[in-house]
Amino acid sequence: MTDKRDPPATSAEPLPPCVVACPAHTDVRGYVRAIARGDFEEAYRIAREPNPLPYICGKVCAHPCETKCRRNDVDEPVAICALKRVATELHDPRKGHAPGLSVGEPKEEKVAIIGAGPGGLTAAHDLARMGYKVTVFDSYPQLGGTLQYGIPLYRLPRETVETEIAPLRELGIEFVTNKRITDVDALLKDGFRAAFLAVGSQLGRKLRIPNADLPDVWVNMEFLRKVALGEKLDLAGRHVLVLGGGNVAIDVARTALRLGAKQVDMTCLESCTTQPAHAWEIAEALDEGVQMFHDRTFKEIVAENGKVKGVRCVTVSFRGFLPTGAPDMDEFPETEHVLPCDLVIFATGQGPDLSFLPQDGSVAQTRRRTIEVNPVTLATTKPGVFAGGDAVTGVGFIIDAIAAGHRAARSIDAFLRGLDPASVQPSEPEELGDLKEKTISHIRRLAREEMPKADVEERKASFAEVDLGYTRVQAMRAAQRCLTCGAGAKVDTDKCIACLTCVRICPYEVPILVRGTAEVVVDQCQACGLCATECPAKAISMTFDNDDDMTKDIRAAVRKAKGNGEPAIVGFACLYCAYGGNDPNVIKAKLPKNVRTVDVLCSGKVDELYLLKAFELGADGVFVAGCLEGVCHNEKGNVHAAQRVAYVKKLLDEIGLGGARLEMFNLSPQSCADMNATVATLTAKVKELGPSPVRRS
Amino acid sequence: MIKAKQKPIAEIQQLIAPYNNVLVLGCGTCVTISFAGGEKEVAMLASSLRIASAMAGKQHTFTEATVQRQCEWEFIDAIANQIKRADAVLSLACGVGVQALAERYPDKVILPGVNTTFLGMAVEHGVLVERCRACGDCVLGLTAGICPIARCAKNLLNGPCGGSQSGKCEVNPETDCAWQLIYDRLGRLGQLDRLDAIMPPKDWSKDYDGGPRKIVREDLKL
Amino acid sequence: MKSGSNLEKVLTSGQFAATGELGPPKSADPEVIRHKAAFLKGITDAVNITDNQTAIVRMSSISVGTMLLGLGVEPTIQMTCRDRNRLAIQSDLLGASALGIKNLLCLTGDHLKFGNHPTARGAHDLDSVQLLSMVKSMRDEKKFACGEEMDVEPRFFIGAAENPFADPFDYRPYRLGKKMAAGADFVQTQLIYNVPKFREFMRRVCDLGLDKKGFILAGVGPIKSIGMARYMQKSVPGMDVPEEVITRLKGVPKEKVREEGIRQCADMIREIREIPGVAGVHVMAIEWEEAVHQIMELAGLLPRPKV
């Protein structure tokens, strides 16, 4: 792949909902685009930039980006999370964990971070890069917080966490584990100029119902923590009932299953459509045999001689929680029944263990018993002490904690430099509008790549990882579903002569005229590139593909194709089809040395100028490989490409070089097209014509 | 708008043959819209000429530039340096632009790269048709908006002639008979009686027959 | 009398007129004229001389017309708008009248593209309607086109052409009327082969009262060969050749087709003569002037009236 750097498109607003929805505002669009082109290193660099834990996120992020992905309006969202995983897996570690991230001048100030979970690790990473002396305290033996002690191994293997945390150790951060801080004031007196409290929500909460304290009534966080700490819990033959319907409840249920439980059920207030857990996690749980009992409130744990027999429930119609925290619901007492079980595990909520905070209340708490902070700066009520993550929000996503870690690091840095921490926080970006029906009607429907998963029967008996991850080819295909929201064509209104070509040619009916010149409506553009190529005034440029990069690629291709004694053939290959559904690298490696390809996302982007440039640089033959009629990703990019090829063929005949040196091939992405065979026909023709008489001085 | 078509490349090659360093100069208005001489066409032509030159082992260099309109002094003054550096300028503007360059740069060889063809419009993307002959005396109000000077091969004012068949002109079966169109549209407008009146002979002195034309607006002069 | 020509006298006396046609040579050879004129002398009321017909350069109509006068044949010169501007037209007409020519047919002219000089510039300063107005104005008002007066005016019997089968079909009778209003004293139509359709055309023409305003002569002509018939049917715009016409010719052996063509033409003349409003026929035997005599005889049009 080339050294090409796509412009940091996230500098131009409005931004797509995926970027805005990500609490860390990861340039999702940028890294997905890089994968679509097959540049996994570049994708890694972009994904890593705002996120020191990309591998972990690639496996277990709650991916709010996918929830807001505009492709939801078309068919299914882009598999953004899985793509981050592939990029991280294919990243060459010799290129460094954080390519391109800087390290600042060493500073004298010491900063304490309490809690080595995602929030704490992120703040530590940022502050260490800024040059501060950072010490991270954690009460557990291993670093990671919830990553180690809350997320089951079948979702997040230990190796992943360790691989991710290892590079952080090289930043000069001091890690102190098995140390529970109980005196924050002492820390501040002890030379730490600032502190970040990122203790997470480690305490599971039980509901106050009769018999909740019996021995066979467990609670979510403690249960998961024990399993993570290696405690042997044998649930063989047990009938487990998990109270609660959220993500943690699912983790608890599936963990219980893997510990040998004969039957695991879940019950919750919500209905099956409003159950708060992620849909994909609910599906996996159901596949594994977990049964769900919705629309219930729990009145009492039924016991006999101290042994749990079941939970008395009553059916409800639940509408949500009121601001006070109380449930807004109607109960139907006549439906009272008992769900049988012999082991109850509460998964109805958790909160931070704030017992370590100063007794004088100088670090104030909210009514919900979380740490009170200024939402912009994350400053607590004690100067120099900041807090973030679950300790503040109650329960959030890993990526929320990472974002909080960044925010805290900025605040602490400002604080230490005597600046207002609020002034160093970026403003929230402006978001793109919705896709219009008209645009959606033109977008090609593409099925989402299935995530390969471990076989259900095998996986429910062990803690082996369930999701196996995409292959390289799957990843490229998955990435090519991205609509490139907000990073498409831009019109230079100085050059635009309102010839209306772009308005007429766009397959998605996007460009309009505004005050006499064309405008490509940024919310709707699908970045197909047709308008840019067809514009007679060269007034349109593409955010992600530009002439200069293409010229470099063509130059490189011609140079590499020459000097083999065979005709130098340069091909423009559409990534949607030209490699026949295979890994382009594999196909390219099998091509003869005299055939070099330049990749494009859609043959519609191949400008006549590129074809001429290849010949100008001395190519003996040139081809364009596009999709079959009717299956172009952009409806008719391949048709226009064919028209351009025909036009240039005529030109080449007129100047005497010979139009037969140029050919268009239409290939099927389904057929494992052997590009060698296709190109061989052109090579033979070119041989007949002889080497190009173009002499380069 | 003025419509033009690029000259065949063989003809262009002959025109530029004696000159080593040629500036291919495009125009950002009419010829851009005709897809004959805008920035993109300049790039394509320059690339083709480079290939041809390299094929012949020659040392021609081709530079490229495009101005907003070649028919405006200020715009062509702005590229004086580029023009100075070239041995000849191959202008892809219409005849007006080529002449403006020649007038502004009288010591420089200015060559035309397109044939200025007609005043017309794109009835469909890629299909350009003649609509106006700039006769200087517009009678469109009398012919239901269809010009018999531009669209009738014999510029009849009292047509149609006997060669009109199935709405097409005897000269080209793909060309609509302008008078059939006029007849139809006058019918739609309820103005068929206009055809009874004899349109008198045209004052061709208002057309170029009266010599090269000029419009002077005293109210606009600086 | 507008011109006092033989044709005018025959028509105004109410008799059925018959005119012929002579195509000049593509050379400066006057012998061709003498040769062709011999076939037409005495058997028609006047002879049209085409003017660079089909945009092919031939000896000019006025010069041939002058020669015909010397040979005792009354000419009808043709003038197209394609080749001359209004100055040349007026100038030529002054000369033609001074030389004794009295009949004039005003035409637009076939487009240059059909001829042998397709790169020439077509004049088209005037169209046929404007030409008719101009000639009428010269004759009746003694005025040039610019309005200046002349003392001795050219006195022409003015004719126009019309194609009854061209489009828009519904408009053609009105166009004939417009030409008469502009100045046409008589009208010669293009070749008629579809008699029923021509009958319908004449019905409309008579409804408009145009048969009273001017003299309408139907164009007729013999078909030399099946090939010629097919060509006219398929490749000549504005020609309507019904299949029955060709079928009749197919019904005879190949060497008899020419004769049958002549007979067919004579039969058509007889039929057309019965249509109300038709004041005569214009016989066009293209490059076959010899056939005219037999056609006229078979059609019962000989001898021609002496007026």
Q: How far is A535 from chain B (nearest CA, A)?
A: 8
Contact A536 B125 (CB under 8 A): no
The reported pLDDT for the residue numbered B31 is 97
Q: How far is B37 from chain C (nearest CA, A)?
A: 27
The reported pLDDT for the residue numbered C4 is 95
Q: How sure is the predictor about A324, in pLDDT bands with cuts at 50, 70 and 90?
A: confident
DSSP string, A401-444: HHHHHHHHHHHHHHHHTT--GGGGSPPPPPBP-PPPHHHHHHSP
C204 near C175, Cβ under 8 Å?
Answer: no
Long-range contacts of range A294-300, CB-CB < 8 Å, 24 or more positions apart?
A: A294/A245, A294/A267, A294/A268, A294/A270, A295/A269, A295/A270, A295/A271, A296/A267, A296/A268, A296/A269, A296/A339, A297/A269, A297/A327, A297/A329, A297/A331, A298/A207, A298/A209, A298/A243, A298/A267, A299/A209, A299/A336, A300/A209, A300/A210, A300/A211
Tokens for A76, please give them: 């299914």
Contact B10 A499 (CB under 8 A): no
Q: By CB neighbour count within 10 A (0-12 exposed, 13-18 middle, 19+ buried), where does B174 fall?
A: exposed
pLDDT tens string B23-50: 999 999 999 999 999 999 999 999 999 9
Report ipTM (2 d.p.).
Answer: 0.90
Maximal CA-CA distance, chain A: 100
Query: Over 70: is that where the pLDDT of A9 sits?
Result: no
The reported pLDDT for the residue numbered A97 is 86
Contacts of C130 in chain B (CB under 8 A): 157-158, 198-201
Find chains touching chain C: ≥3 CB pairs under 8 Å.
B
Which among A501, A651, A692 is the nearest to B48, CB-wise?
Answer: A651
Tell whether C118 lies on the interface with B, counting CB pairs under 8 A.
no
A65 near A28, Cβ under 8 Å?
Answer: yes
Percent of chain A exceeding pLDDT 90 equals 86
Q: Torsion angle, CA of C170/C176/C178/C179, rounded to 10 degrees?
A: 150
Q: Nearest residue of B to residue A613 by CA position?
A: B47
Q: How far apart are CA A640 and CA A662, in angstroms?
A: 15
Tell whether C54 lies on the interface with B, counting CB pairs under 8 A.
no
Contact B55 A696 (CB under 8 A): no
The reported pLDDT for the residue numbered A159 is 94
Tell whether B135 lies on the interface with C, counting CB pairs under 8 A.
no
| Cα angle, residue B13 at apex, residues B9 and B19 outer, rounded to 5° | 150
Contacts of A535 in chain B (CB under 8 A): 40
Tell whether C162 lies on the interface with B, counting CB pairs under 8 A.
yes
Contact A501 B125 (CB under 8 A): yes
Q: For residue A14, say if its preceding peptide bond is cis, omega within 30 degrees of 0.
A: yes
Count contacts between B and C (CB, < 8 Å). Answer: 96
Neighbour tally for A309: CB within 10 Å: 16
Contacts of B28 in chain A (CB under 8 A): 495, 497, 537
Tokens for A73, please give them: 């309006």
Q: How far apart are CA B4 and CA A42, in angstroms?
A: 46
Q: Provide the mean pLDDT of chain A.
A: 93
The reported pLDDT for the residue numbered A157 is 95
pLDDT digit string (tens) for chain C, length 307 residues: 999 999 999 999 999 999 999 999 999 999 999 999 999 999 999 999 999 999 999 999 999 999 999 999 999 999 999 999 999 999 999 999 999 999 999 999 999 999 999 999 999 999 999 999 999 999 999 999 999 999 999 999 999 999 998 889 899 999 999 999 999 999 999 999 999 999 999 999 999 999 999 999 999 999 999 999 999 888 777 788 999 999 999 999 989 999 999 999 999 999 999 999 999 999 999 889 999 999 999 999 999 999 8
Contacts of C86 in chain B (CB under 8 A): 201
Q: Nearest residue of C to residue B207 by CA position?
A: C125
Q: Which residues of chain B have pLDDT under 50?
A: none
The one-letter amino acid at A627 = C
pLDDT mean over A210-235: 94
The reported pLDDT for the residue numbered A697 is 47
Contact C167 B196 (CB under 8 A): no
Q: For residue A693, say if its preceding peptide bond is cis, omega within 30 degrees of 0.
A: no
Query: Over 70: is that where the pLDDT of A6 sits?
Result: no
Q: How far apart are CA A219 and CA A216, in angstroms?
A: 10
Contact B54 A505 (CB under 8 A): no
Which among B158, B165, B167 is the nearest to C130, CB-wise?
Answer: B158
pTM score, whole prediction? 0.88
Cα–Cα distance list, A247 to A51, A573, C2 (Å): 23, 44, 110
Which among A504, A613, A657 is the nearest to B55, CB-wise?
Answer: A657
Domains of chain B, earliest start first? 2-118 (3.40.50), 133-210 (no CATH)
Q: How sure is the predictor about A678, in pLDDT bands with cuts at 50, 70 and 90?
A: confident
Q: How far apart are CA A516 and CA A498, in angstroms?
A: 7
pLDDT tens string A109-136: 999 999 999 999 999 999 999 999 999 9
Contact B196 C81 (CB under 8 A): no
Contact A536 B29 (CB under 8 A): no
Contacts of C113 in chain B (CB under 8 A): 153, 171
Query: Over 70: is that where the pLDDT of A2 sits?
Result: no
Contact C134 B183 (CB under 8 A): no
Q: Nearest residue of B to residue C235 by CA position?
A: B170
Going by C-alpha positions, the residue among C52, C162, C238, C116 that lies closest to residue B177 is C238
Q: For residue C173, say if its preceding peptide bond is cis, omega within 30 degrees of 0.
A: no
Reported as half-sphere exposure (CB side, CA atoms, 13 A), residue C194 has a value of 17
**Beta partners for A197?**
A114, A387
Q: How far apart are CA A25 and CA A11, in angstroms?
A: 11
Domains of chain C, earliest start first? 6-298 (3.20.20.220)
The radius of gyration of chain C's CA atoms, rounded to the nearest angstrom, is: 19
Which among A495, A504, A694 is the nearest to B55, CB-wise?
Answer: A694
Contact B54 A696 (CB under 8 A): yes
DSSP element (H, E) containing A81: helix A80-90
Tell whether B177 lies on the interface with C, counting CB pairs under 8 A.
yes
Beta strands (DSSP E) in C23-119 are 46-49, 75-80, 103-107
Indicate which of B174, B198, B206 best probes the interface with C, i.e. most C CBs within 10 Å of its own CB: B198
Which among B29, B41, B52 is the nearest to A655, CB-wise?
Answer: B52
**Beta partners for B109?**
B88
pLDDT tens string A392-441: 998 899 999 999 999 999 999 999 999 999 999 998 899 999 999 999 99
Contacts of A616 in chain B (CB under 8 A): 47, 50-51, 54
Contact B163 C238 (CB under 8 A): yes
B180 near B148, Cβ under 8 Å?
Answer: no
Q: How sure is the predictor about A7, in pLDDT bands with cuts at 50, 70 and 90?
A: low
Which among B156, B162, B171 is the nearest to C161, CB-wise?
Answer: B162
Chains A and C touch (3+ CB pairs under 8 A): no
A297 near A326, Cβ under 8 Å?
Answer: no
Q: How far is C251 from chain B (nearest CA, A)?
A: 30
Which among A505, A537, A655 is the nearest to B51, CB-wise?
Answer: A655
Chain B residues with CB under 8 Å of a chain A CB are 8-10, 13, 28-29, 32-33, 35, 38-41, 43-44, 47-52, 54-55, 57, 59, 66, 125
Tell whether B37 lies on the interface with C, counting CB pairs under 8 A.
no
pLDDT tens string A281-319: 999 999 999 999 999 999 999 999 999 999 999 999 999
Indicate which of B152, B170, B192, B205 best probes the interface with C, i.e. most C CBs within 10 Å of its own CB: B170
Domains of chain A, earliest start first? 9-99+435-479 (1.10.1060), 110-202+352-393 (3.50.50.60), 214-349 (3.50.50.60), 489-542 (3.30.70.20), 547-689 (3.40.50)
Q: How far is B82 from chain A (nearest CA, A)?
A: 19
The reported pLDDT for the residue numbered A399 is 96
Neighbour tally for C144: CB within 10 Å: 17
Find chains touching chain B: ≥3 CB pairs under 8 Å.
A, C
Q: Nearest residue of B to residue C163 by CA position?
A: B162
Tokens for A621, please give them: 């033959």
CA C174 to chain centre: 19
Percent of chain A exceeding pLDDT 70 equals 97
pLDDT mean over A164-188: 93
Q: By CB neighbour count within 10 A (0-12 exposed, 13-18 middle, 19+ buried), where does A263 fall?
A: middle
Going by C-alpha positions, the residue among A314, A311, A389, A340 that lies closest to residue A121 is A389
The reported pLDDT for the residue numbered A673 is 56
Helices (H), ranges, A135-219: 146-149, 158-169, 184-189
The reported pLDDT for the residue numbered C162 is 94
Tokens for A194, please give them: 């600032």
Contact C124 B204 (CB under 8 A): no
